[in-house]
Amino acid sequence: MKIARFTEGGRTRLGIVTTDTGEIIDVGTADPSLPTDVGELLAAGKITDLALTASSASRLPLSSVHLEAPIAQPPTFLAIGLNYADHVAESGMPKPAAPVVFNKQSTCVVGPGAGIEVPTVAPDWVDYEGELGIVIGTRCRTVSVADAPSVVAGYLIVNDVSVRDWQRATPTMTMGKSWDTHGPIGPWLVTADEVGDPHDLAIRTWVDGDLRQNASTEQMITNCWELIAHLSTAFTLLPGTIIATGTPAGVGFVMDPPRCMKPGSTVRIEIDKLGVLENPVIAQP
């Protein structure tokens, strides 16, 4: 399933997207008891209820609704740095001996079409990073590599927007990765059964129609299952947790001259089977 969070008629609720017909099945209206957020749906264990409601729910044109971030405020938003060899090389840094883990504050999350703000205090170094996002479906700890697929609810696209000068100023990177609006996710959650192997997906990023990133998730240094096992060794992963798995080569700040995002730009990320996440870049209000 493709589970979307959307607003229509002044109400926000969940729906199931049918991309072949360009429609959204309005399960949130058919069953008002359903949660209105994918994270809450996973925590309540109600994905099955969502599917059962679909047969009796009405359909809306996808073009008539406003898509929101599938998870408005994830319990944890984790991200992995330097997880593609070509990105390590372009960054001029050594290959890490262990996954580089950092937090993005959950308040950075926005959905498809929402503006990515260029901060007034950091106007020159706002960069894009197209990434595969894992969404955890089950509360878990000390998960083995073999068992890792069983705790995944599905996947979505992440733009790990980065303010490079602030990112480099502190070793944790959190300040440079967590500005409000710097965590676009979406366009919906695609359940794990529909995606299949997450390590065989093409990932592409365009800025103003210029293809900047063109890679495959098979190029990850540490794959999805290994990341889940590594992270859950230390702490509990909660339903709705997002893990952004790293970006391939082609980011703007390493280009000569640098080609970071500016107000008026549009960034578009496409991942096989997951769809397209597109956001305009705007000046901070």
What are φ and ψ of residue 83, in 5° steps? Answer: -110, 10
pLDDT at 204 (0 to 100): 98
Q: Judge whether 90 lies within some domain.
A: yes
In this structure, the answer to whether residues 138 and 253 fall within a common structural domain is yes
Taking residues 148-157, what's their average pLDDT? 98
170 pLDDT more than 90: no
Same domain, 30 and 111: no
Q: Are residues 141 and 203 in the same domain?
A: yes
Number of domain units in the chain = 2
pLDDT at 186: 98
Whether 66 contacts 7, CB under 8 Å: yes
**Do residue 53 and residue 176 come from a single domain?**
no
- Looking at the fold, whether 198 and 58 belong to one and the same domain comes out as no
Q: Is residue 160 part of a domain?
A: yes
pLDDT mean over 196-201: 97
For the segment 253-273, what is each residue's pLDDT rounded down to a tens digit?
999 999 999 999 999 999 999
Residue 55 is part of which domain span? 2-67
**What pLDDT is recorded for position 234?**
98
- Domain end call among 67, 86, 107: 67
- Is 72 part of any domain? no
Q: 171 pLDDT band (50/70/90 cuts)?
A: confident
Q: What integer pLDDT is reported at residue 101 of this predicted model?
A: 97
> Residue 32 domain-assigned?
yes
Domain final residue, candidates 15, 38, 67: 67
Is residue 139's pLDDT more than 90?
yes
Residue 24, pLDDT above cutoff 90? yes
Tokens 């956001």 sit at which residue?
A: 279
What is the share, in percent, of the chain residues with pLDDT greater than 70? 100
Q: Is the domain of 31 the same as that of 84? A: no
pTM above 0.95, yes or no: yes
Domain contains 171: yes
Asked if 51 and 100 sit in the same domain, the reply is: no
Residues 149 and 275 both lie in one domain: yes
Q: Are residues 34 and 90 in the same domain?
A: no
pLDDT at 50: 92
Same domain, 121 and 184: yes
CATH code for the domain in which residue 146 is found: 3.90.850.10
pLDDT of residue 10: 97
Burial call 84-120: b when 16+ CB within 10 Å, e when fewer: beebbebeeeeeeeebbbbebbbebbbbbebbbbbbe
Q: Are residues 92 and 222 in the same domain?
A: yes
Q: In this structure, is residue 174 part of a structural domain?
A: yes
pLDDT in tens, 45-73: 999 999 899 989 999 999 999 999 999 99
Residue 123's pLDDT is what? 96
**Is 23 within the bounds of a domain?**
yes
112 inside domain: yes
What does the pLDDT read at residue 231?
A: 98
Using 50, 70 and 90 to split pLDDT, how confident is the model at 249? very high
Per the CB < 8 A criterion, the answer to whether 109 and 77 are in contact is: yes
User: Looking at the predicted structure, is the pLDDT value of residue 37 above 90?
Assistant: yes
The whole-angstrom separation of Cα 285 and Cα 283 is: 6
Q: Which of 67, 85, 108 is the last residue of a domain?
A: 67
